[in-house]
Homo-oligomer: A and B are copies of this chain.
Amino acid sequence: MREYVIGVDIGGTKIATGLVSNEGKLKQKVVMPTLSTRGLKVSLEQVYKSIAGLIKVSKVDRKKIKGIGVCAPGPLDPMKGVVHNPPNLFGWHEVPLAALLRKRFSKPTKLENDANAAGMAEVIWGAAKGYKHVVYVTVSTGIGTAVIINGKIFHGKNGMAGEGGHVTIDYNAKNARCNCGNNGCIEALASGPYTVKRLVAQIKKHPGTKTNIMDMVDGELDKITMITIAEAAAEGDSFALETIAEEGKLLGIWLGSMVNVLDPEVIVIGGGVSLIGNVLFKEIRKSMYAHTINIFAKNTPVLPAKLKRDVGIFGAASVLIKR
């Protein structure tokens, strides 16, 4: 019998809610604004509405819906199902979200943070299928990770494990102050915005740099994004390619350290920046293999994530899938 799980992806701007079958098919999707600036009461009501709306519009027998998985920005406690105080959900403070939804919809409910949920979706339906020990990485505005051990998300003591984006590889870094307050976290060296920042700094420092990027943004430096860099690289722009190579090198140094600690069976990399593809991945692999003491690491695959669109919904749903 086909069964379903509801996946709810709560972001600062929008709530994406979807009905996901146990084979990993997205049957129906509803997107609503979070209205997060209007405070807890309003945005929580939006969460309720999005789930109720999805159930209604999908016309699926309620009995076939086995539960509700929710992912939200951290910090949160996945064991207790409590959202601590995410900076982009205004007024949310120690909200027992899993319990509230369980009461409201009378379904098993689980809360998980974004990166952990996305990692679990890769284990269940994506590139890490069949693996037990997985390091999942998402590189986009920030860098998030999930540590999966014996097929389960590893939460640690307080549900805060897996914050690999804040591993420092350059604690002395002069120009890599991270949003977390420390220096040289990989997030502050290799996430999308920081990579753009480094490229812009290079252009400012060497105004004669040979690159098409300036033309692509009509000379307006603040229009440059990772997409600009990726497009320029795809056309063979050597400056863009160097920027991506540097990003890959940094990610590889960091992953070398992660492999030293965790010796995973596979590393899966998702997030917007990973869409750059092989140009980036080949640099990551080369650097990772060069920066680990693990003599077997060259046999550890570094794969692009399979789930791209709606990964938040799939992630949220995946934490409730029985295997």
Binding site for B on A (CB under 8 A): 75, 84, 133, 145, 147, 149, 154-164, 166-172, 180, 182, 184, 253, 256-258, 260-265, 291-296, 300
Contacts and interface: CB of A to CB of B under 8 A. Distances in A.
A166 B292 contact: yes
A225 to B, nearest CB: 26
List 3 tightest A-B contacts by C-beta distance, closest first: A156-B263, A161-B263, A158-B296
A261 B147 contact: yes
B161 A262 contact: yes
Contacts of A184: 169-170
Residue among A145, A149, A154, A156 with the most chain B CB within 10 A?
Answer: A156
Interface of A is mostly: loop
Contacts of A157: 133, 263-265, 296, 300
19 contacts: A133-B157, A147-B261, A147-B262, A157-B263, A158-B263, A162-B261, A163-B261, A166-B260, A166-B292, A167-B257, A169-B170, A169-B184, A170-B171, A170-B184, A172-B172, A182-B256, A182-B291, A182-B293, A258-B261
B167 A170 contact: no
A233 B170 CA distance: 29
Given A84-B295, A163-B260, A169-B184, 9 more contacts: A156-B262, A157-B264, A157-B265, A161-B262, A163-B263, A166-B260, A168-B256, A169-B170, A170-B184
Contacts of A158: 263, 294, 296
Contacts of A295: 75, 84, 160
A156 B148 CA distance: 11
Nearest to A261: B164
A182 to B, nearest CB: 6
A293 B170 contact: no
